[in-house]
Amino acid sequence: MKTIVCIGAGYVGGPTMAVIAKHCPEYRVEVVDVNAARIAAWQTDSLPIYEPGLLDVVKAVRGRNLFFYDDVEDRIDRADIIFVSVNTPTKGFGEGAGQAADLQYWERTARQIARCSTKAKIVVEKSTLPVRTAEALEAILHASENDVAFEVVSNPEFLAEGTAIRDLEEPDRVLIGARATPSGQAALEEIVKIYAHWVPRENIITTDVWSSELAKLTANAFLAQRISSVNAISALCERTGANVAHVSRAVGMDRRIGPKFLRAGVGFGGSCFRKDILNLAYLCEYHGLPEVAAYWRQVVELNEFQKRRFVRSMLGAMFNTLAGKRIAVFGFAFKPGTSDTRDSPAMAICELLIEEHAQLVVTDPRALDNAREDLKDAPDCAFTPDPYEAARGADAIALITGWPEYRELDYERIFRQMAKPAFLFDGWNELDHEALARIGFHVYRVGAPPLEPPPEST
């Protein structure tokens, strides 16, 4: 029985290893992390992350061939294959601050593997990394005094939070990059063999290490770019009376473009898009390509503009003052289907609203604990899991995460309990705006003119 050890039990490590363990019963899969509380949670039915379908998969394989441990160093040498899925956030200090990837966790892991290994291993880059990181990893591993053979393979993860299990079960593609040497190709085949248990062979694509590393950054940059593109058009729609939903529909029906990721809103969030684009831009700059860097950086700048624009539109609609006004914030997760609030547009929007001295009541079906933590230093913030409670007495609702449950609420009841005039700002274009205006709301959409209530309602 071969042993896979995954270092990093986060949003990527946990779900990915659970699905590998499910499909590959002849492998022993161990997930390790320095965060002992996180490891303890993986051993219960209150998993440390929320992901639809994840608990079922974990329960089916935990204790069979999936195990969680916090003694990272003790586990390393048991592994034949090590997946590294530690976090690679944006660097917050020194050279490249605010742009480059912070590789300290990554390098610490590399040194641990070098120090603790006495037998040959394949080391798989699962984290998203700058191009040519594998070179640094090889340098650290090969400097090991233990004289161990290591082979470094790149296998970036393309899962999206909220659909992680589906994405892992039926990936559009699995990408594996390795050196062209015989040992590199043998390692590549070992990793192909794992995925071939459930992924059709034609969906497993192989390449060199550098192309594999760059493909992941590029995929995220393209996805984010589409969102910024449609958001840029949404701003023009609001000025001209066009409707961005209609524009997107017409544009997306062109088969060369396609309909996905063309929905205007408050902007993208999550731990990856912003970090990976800034990292890509930094790499371009480093390699003497400032024009290319500026092109990609603009995608992030537009995203910041979109969040500011949303708050400006609230301010403009509500008579240019939000001071002392109660605002129900519907949704704090960076998108529906996840409890993750990392780099959520909600955080930036709440900060801007707090600067205006608004009083916030935040509600979210899954991310309330994270919201509480993120806003723990903010004044005038209340939290409730109940959207009706959040909206009671509020001057406005700001819908920031498009949870489907918000479509099902009784808005007549909500309207009755709000201060008048009652405003609703739909940052996801999620709700039935005509119906809301008929109830009496002043409805503000992204990329379309506002809808006023009929004159007889108040």
Ligand X SMILES: NC(=O)c1ccc[n+]([C@@H]2O[C@H](COP(=O)([O-])OP(=O)(O)OC[C@H]3O[C@@H](n4cnc5c(N)ncnc54)[C@H](O)[C@@H]3O)[C@@H](O)[C@H]2O)c1
Closer Cβ to ligand X, 72 or 188, answer by number: 72
Asked if 88 touches ligand X (CB under 6 A), the answer is: yes
Closer Cβ to ligand X, 85 or 117, answer by number: 85
Closer Cβ to ligand X, 172 or 386, answer by number: 172
Tokens matching residue 450: 């506002």
Measure the CA–CA gap between 264 and 257, rounded to whole angstroms: 16
Tokens matching residue 445: 């959409």
Query: What radius of gyration do the chain's Cα atoms show?
Result: 24
Q: Which of 5, 9, 314, 390 binds ligand X (CB under 6 A)?
A: 9
Active site residue: 6, 116, 272, 284, which one? Answer: 272
Q: How far is the CB of 20 from ligand X (least distance, A)?
A: 15
Pairing of strands 448-451, 442-445: antiparallel
Strand blocks (E) in 306-384 = 326-330, 359-363, 381-383
Q: Which of 6, 11, 209, 346 binds ligand X (CB under 6 A)?
A: 11
272 is an active site residue: yes
Binding mask 52-81 for ligand X (x = CB under 6 A): --------------------x---------
Q: How far is the CB of 408 from ligand X (least distance, A)?
A: 27
Q: How far is the CB of 167 from ligand X (least distance, A)?
A: 9
Closer Cβ to ligand X, 159 or 422, answer by number: 159
Asked if 343 touches ligand X (CB under 6 A), the answer is: no
Q: Which of 4, 5, 6, 8 binds ligand X (CB under 6 A)?
A: 8
Q: Which of 22, 58, 82, 85 binds ligand X (CB under 6 A)?
A: 85
Q: Which residues of 282-319 are buried (b: 16+ CB within 10 A; e: fewer)?
A: bbbbeeeeeeebeebbbbbebbebbbebbbebbbebbe
Provide the CB-side half-sphere exposure for 326 (13 A, CA).
Answer: 16
Region near ligand X per CB under 6 A, out of 105-113, 167-175, 234-242, 313-321: 105-113
For 380, residues 6+ apart whose C-beta sits below 8 A from its C-beta are 354, 357, 358, 359, 360
Asked if 329 touches ligand X (CB under 6 A), the answer is: no
Q: How far is the CB of 388 from ligand X (least distance, A)?
A: 32
Closer Cβ to ligand X, 10 or 387, answer by number: 10
Query: In this structure, is the dihedral angle defined by the CA atoms of residues 361, 364, 365 and 367, taken in order, positive or negative?
Result: negative
Closer Cβ to ligand X, 157 or 395, answer by number: 157
SS3 of 125-147? ECCCCCCCHHHHHHHHHHCCCCC
Residue nearest to ligand X (CB): 10
Query: Which backbone phi and psi does 238 adopt, to 5 degrees?
Result: -65, -30
Distance of CA 8 to the CA centre of its chain: 16
Place of tokens 């009496």: 440
Q: Which of 69, 105, 198, 388 binds ligand X (CB under 6 A)?
A: 105
Asked if 127 touches ligand X (CB under 6 A), the answer is: yes
- Contact indicator for 267, 193 with CB cutoff of 8 Å: no
Site for ligand X in 13-42 (CB under 6 A): 13, 33-35, 38
Site for ligand X in 220-279 (CB under 6 A): 271-272
Closer Cβ to ligand X, 128 or 341, answer by number: 128
Distance of CA 141 to the CA centre of its chain: 30
Q: How far is the CB of 453 from ligand X (least distance, A)?
A: 40
Asked if 50 touches ligand X (CB under 6 A), the answer is: no
Tokens matching residue 123: 């080391």
Asked if 161 touches ligand X (CB under 6 A), the answer is: yes
Asked if 7 touches ligand X (CB under 6 A), the answer is: yes
Report the candidate in 174, 119, 179, 190 with the shortest Cα–Cα distance to residue 152: 179
3-state secondary structure of 255: coil
Pairing of strands 423-426, 442-445: parallel
Asked if 159 touches ligand X (CB under 6 A), the answer is: yes
Number of continuous H segments (helices) and E segments (strands) in the chain: 17, 15
Closer Cβ to ligand X, 34 or 61, answer by number: 34
Which helix H or strand E contains 245, and what residues bound it? helix 244-252
Asked if 157 touches ligand X (CB under 6 A), the answer is: yes
Tokens matching residue 22: 């499910």
Q: How far is the CB of 48 from ligand X (least distance, A)?
A: 8
What residues are labeled active site?
272
Interacting residue ranges for ligand X, rule: CB under 6 A: 7-13, 33-35, 38, 72, 85-88, 105, 108-109, 127-128, 157, 159, 161, 271-272
